[in-house]
Amino acid sequence: MRKFDINDRYTVSDIGVSLRADSLTELFIAGAEGMFEIIMGARPTRPAVASQAIDLHADSAEQLMIDWLSELLYGFDTNGLIPVHFDISVSRTDNDSRVSGTIGYCRYDRDTDNAEHEIKAVTYYKLMIQKDGDLYRCDVVFDL
């Protein structure tokens, strides 16, 4: 189970997602899906036309979430890439967190896609990944 809720309870120029998932991998996928639902209004249902390998490391799961979402945002901003398929795994040890795998993308189409929000950056505001029973939880706030 992975789920996200979009909320705008922050400042006027911020919007966020509250994430819940059974695993860290699902939490990271939910973060990506939530971010792109904010950008697009609804995630495209088109099939992937391109794929890219990803391998990111960070000192903490929180820093990895920032790096992960920032990498996806960069791909959208520079190349019009919208992630639609995730074959990734997220692992964590005391000193290292890592996301690796493959992401499938479709391309942003100005004629059919409607970008609702421009996200400038992923922020550290209130960012903390917690395990609550069997669920992982995290709030991620984006600067608009």
Q: What is the pTM of this model?
A: 0.90
> Which residues span the domain enclosing 23?
2-143
pLDDT by residue, tens only, the chain of 144 residues? 557 666 666 556 788 899 999 999 999 999 999 999 999 988 788 899 999 999 999 999 999 999 999 999 999 999 999 999 999 999 998 889 999 999 999 999 988 888 888 999 999 998 999 998 999 999 999 998
Report pLDDT for 2. 52
What distance in Å separates the CA atoms of residue 13 and residue 110, rounded to the nearest whole number?
24
Integer distance in angstroms from the first to the last C-alpha of the chain? Answer: 28
Backbone angles phi, psi at 7, to 5 degrees: -140, 150
Number of domains in the chain: 1
CATH code (residue 122)? 3.55.10.10
Please check whether residue 23 is in contact with residue 99, taking contact to mean a CB–CB distance below 8 angstroms.
no
CA-to-CA distance for 35 and 117, rounded, in angstroms? 10
The CA distances from residue 120 to 26, 114, 116, 117, in Å, are 24, 17, 13, 9
